[in-house]
Amino acid sequence: MNLSFYPLDLKLKHTFQIARESRDIQNNIIVLLRDTDGVVGFGEAAPTRFLGEDAKSVTRVLDQSVDLLQQADPFHLEDTTHLLKSRFPRDTAARAAIDIALYDMIGKKLKIPLYQLLGLKKPNANVTSFTIGIDTLEKMCKKVDEVKDFPILKIKAGFKEDIETLRELRKITRAVFRVDVNTGWTLHEAIKKLKLMENLGVELVEQPFPVGSIELLQKIRGAAKIPIFVDEDVKDTHDIPAFSNVVDGINIKLMKCGGIREAIRMIHTARAHNLKIMMGCNIESSVSITAASHVTPLVDHIDLDGHLLVTNDPYTGVMVDRGKLTLPVGDGLGVVARNEASLLSL
Ligand code: MG
Contact partners, residue 238, CB within 8 Å, separation at least 6: none
Contact partners, residue 252, CB within 8 Å, separation at least 6: 234, 263, 266, 267, 270, 277, 278, 279, 280, 299
Cα–Cα distances in angstroms (integers) from residue 286 to residues 233, 254, 336, in the given order: 26, 13, 9
Report the 10 Å Cβ neighbour count for 341: 7
**Distance between Cα 233 and ligand 1 center (Å):** 10
Euclidean distance between CA atoms 179 and 301, whole angstroms: 13
**Distance between Cα 65 and ligand 1 center (Å):** 29
Euclidean distance between CA atoms 162 and 106, whole angstroms: 45
Specify whether the backbone of 55 is left (phi greater than 0), alpha (psi in -120 to 50) or beta: alpha
**Distance between Cα 260 and ligand 1 center (Å):** 18
**Distance between Cα 207 and ligand 1 center (Å):** 7
Cβ contact 285:28 at 8 Å: yes
Euclidean distance between CA atoms 51 and 53, whole angstroms: 6
- In order along its 346 residues, the chain shows pLDDT tens digits of 999 999 999 999 888 777 777 789 999 999 999 999 999 999 999 999 988 999 999 999 999 999 999 999 999 999 999 999 999 999 999 999 999 999 999 999 999 999 999 999 998 879 999 999 999 999 999 999 999 999 999 999 999 999 999 999 999 999 999 999 999 999 999 999 999 999 999 999 999 999 999 999 999 998 779 999 999 999 999 999 999 999 999 999 999 999 999 999 999 999 999 999 999 999 999 999 999 999 999 999 999 999 999 999 999 999 999 999 999 999 999 999 988 655 544 4
**Distance between Cα 231 and ligand 1 center (Å):** 5
Cβ contact 251:303 at 8 Å: yes
**Distance between Cα 16 and ligand 1 center (Å):** 13
pLDDT at 346: 47
**Distance between Cα 2 and ligand 1 center (Å):** 34
Q: For residue 280, which amino acid is it?
A: G
**Distance between Cα 281 and ligand 1 center (Å):** 8
**Distance between Cα 323 and ligand 1 center (Å):** 18
Cβ contact 106:117 at 8 Å: yes
Say what the alpha-carbon torsion angle 128, 133, 139, 144 is, to the nearest 10 degrees: 10
Q: State the DSSP string of 199-266.
A: TTTEEEEE--S-TT-HHHHHHHTTT-SS-EEESTT--SGGGSGGGTTT-SEEEEEHHHHTSHHHHHHH
Cα–Cα distances in angstroms (integers) from residue 54 to residues 50, 61, 149, 214, 324, in the given order: 9, 11, 34, 28, 31
**Distance between Cα 206 and ligand 1 center (Å):** 6
**Distance between Cα 321 and ligand 1 center (Å):** 23
Specify which residues 155 forms β-bridges with: 132, 179
**Distance between Cα 183 and ligand 1 center (Å):** 9
Euclidean distance between CA atoms 181 and 158, whole angstroms: 4
Residues measured by CB to lie within 5 Å of ligand 1, the ion = 180, 206, 231
pLDDT at 341: 55
Specify whether the backbone of 102 is left (phi greater than 0), alpha (psi in -120 to 50) or beta: alpha
**Distance between Cα 182 and ligand 1 center (Å):** 6
Specify which residues 319 forms β-bridges with: 326
